[in-house]
Amino acid sequence: MKVKSLTLSAVAVVFLALFLTGCSKDTGPTASTDQEAIQELLFTEYADWVDITEAYDGDSTEGDAHLMSRDTLQGLVAWWRRHFWNQQVRDLNIHIENDSAWVTLYREIPGRLNLIFRTDTTPPATLVRYTKSLADYSERHLLFVRTGPVTAPHRGWELRAISNVEVTSASPTLQIDSLRITGGAYDTVVTDPLVLQERDEVFAFPPGTPVTLTLYVNEPENAAPYLHHPEARHRFRRHRFQYEDGHFVGTWTTPMTPGVYHTAVDVLHRATLITNDYPYDAHLWLFVYRVVQP
C-alpha cells in the first residue's frame, strides 16, 4: 500500500509540472526579440488581416473550369492567374520607437497569366491557350503598439492600425485614381490605399450587406477591371465592372459569416487579355473589411 501511495504522489507531481509548464507557455513570451514577436503575430493571430492569397487567387485555380470567369472581350473565353506563392520574395521592414512599431510588408510574387481564346478563322471554332509570365509587387503598412510587459504573449505587442494593399505589375500603364465604397453606413472615397486606419475603424458591414464600388482609372478606354469578392464557404468569385460614363461600377454582397475579409479591385490593360504579345500590365487595390453582427 505504501508503494502504491508513492506512485500516485509521483503521478500527481508529474501532472502538476505539466500543468504549470502549459501555463507558462500560455502566459510567457513567445519570441526572444520584438521583431520576432511582431513577425509571429503577422502570420498567426493576425493572419486574416494580412493574408491576400484567396482574395487574389481564390477564383484562379488552374483546371477548375467553373472557377474561370467567362468574358466577352474580343474572343477571350477565360483567363486566370497562377501565382507561385512558394517562390515569393517577402521583405518585412520593422521600425521600432519606444512602444510603437511601424511595419511595411513588401512582396514580389512571380506567376503566369493564362488566356484561352476562341478562334473562328477556320471552322469549326477551336480554343487556343496562351500564357504570359508575370510578376506582381505588393505593399502594405501596419502599426503595432506594445500594450503589455515583455513577459506577456508576443512581448506585449498588438496590431493597432493597418492599410489596404496596393499591387502593381513591373511597369503598369494603368492607374487606379480612386474608389468609392458605398454600403451599410458607409459612403467613402479612397484615393490612397496605403493610408493607415485604426483597426477598430476598418470598414464593418453587417452580414449580407450589398456593397457598391465606383472605380475611376486614368485610361478607362484601355481598362478591363474586375472585382474579386468572397461568397459562401469562403470561396471567391470574380466578375467584370460595368462601364458607366467614364467610370466603372461593381456590386457584391458581404458574406454571412462574421470575420475579416479582403476584396480586390483588379484592373488589367485590355491588350494584356486580348493579345498574345502585349506584356502583363495590371494595377490592384485590395481593401480589408470586417463582417460583424449588428
Q: Each residue of 41-57: pLDDT tens digit?
A: 999 999 999 998 888 77
For residue 189, count other CB atoms closer than 10 A to its CB: 11
Helix (H, G, I), strand (E, B) or coil at 192: coil
Per-residue model confidence (pLDDT) at position 21: 40
CA 224 – CA 283 distance, rounded (Å): 11
Per-residue model confidence (pLDDT) at position 77: 82
Average pLDDT score over the chain: 84
Per-residue model confidence (pLDDT) at position 231: 72
Tell me the β-bridge partners of 287.
263
Per-residue model confidence (pLDDT) at position 24: 37
Q: Dig out the grid coordinates for 138 from the structure.
A: 505588393
Q: What is the 3-state secondary structure (H, E, C) of 102-147?
A: EEEEEEEEEEEEEEEEEECCCCCCEEEEEEEEEEEEEEEEEEEEEC
Calculate the alpha carbon distances from 197 to 146, 180, 241, 261, 284 in Å.
17, 16, 26, 15, 19
pLDDT, tens digit (0-9, with 9 covering 90-100), for 89-143 = 999 999 999 999 999 999 999 999 999 887 776 666 788 889 999 999 999 999 9
| pLDDT confidence bin for 70, thresholds 50/70/90 | very low
